[in-house]
Amino acid sequence: MPDTIEIRDLLLRAIVGINPDERVNRQDVLLNLLLETDLRPAARSDGISDAVNYRTIAKEVIEFVEQSRFNLVEALAEAVAALCLRDERVSRVRINVQKPGALRFASSVGVTIERTRADLAAMRRP
């Protein structure tokens, strides 16, 4: 089983949706991130320079999501995955994006995607 860093239940506000009110009013989105990386260098050195800095990644995700404007949670999840993969030590990400209250009678609706460094290269191609 690979080493992972988990960021759970990151509750943010974003413009996401296709309905007119969703294009104007920010709404809650809940993100869960699973970053696959080799934790051994950081564990051996006990130094932040050998670690994927999850605080930095979380700050970047927060800023990005809160300034973003997407129609679909799928597109938001893809963009967050690309952001996380910018750190070359992250080899794979699993991103779950939930929109609480998006469906009547459901507490939440969302998507989960998994992307690798190879997927990142393919995302950049025209």
CATH number of 4-124: 3.30.1130.10
* Phi-psi region at 46: left, alpha or beta (left = phi > 0; alpha = psi -120 to 50): left
Q: In DSSP terms, which residues pair with 15 in a beta bridge?
A: 69
Cβ atoms within 10 A of the Cβ of 125, count?
5
Burial class, 7, CB count within 10 angstroms (exposed 0-12 / middle 13-18 / buried 19+): middle
DSSP 8-state secondary structure symbol assigned to residue 67? H
Query: Which two tokens mark 113?
Result: 């995607």
pTM above 0.85, yes or no: yes
124: pLDDT strictly greater than 90? no
Confidence label for 103 from pLDDT (cuts 50, 70 and 90): confident
Confidence label for 52 from pLDDT (cuts 50, 70 and 90): very high
**pLDDT cut 90: percent of the chain above it:** 85
Between CA 119 and CA 126, with CA 125 as vertex, the angle to 5 degrees is 140
State phi, psi for 55 to the nearest 5 degrees: -65, -45
17: pLDDT strictly greater than 90? yes
Contact 89, 38 (CB under 8 A): yes
Contact 99, 108 (CB under 8 A): yes
Q: Which residues are catalytic?
A: 99
Whole-number Å distance between alpha carbons of 87 and 110: 25
Cβ atoms within 10 A of the Cβ of 114, count?
14
125: pLDDT strictly greater than 70? no
Domain residue ranges in the chain: 4-124
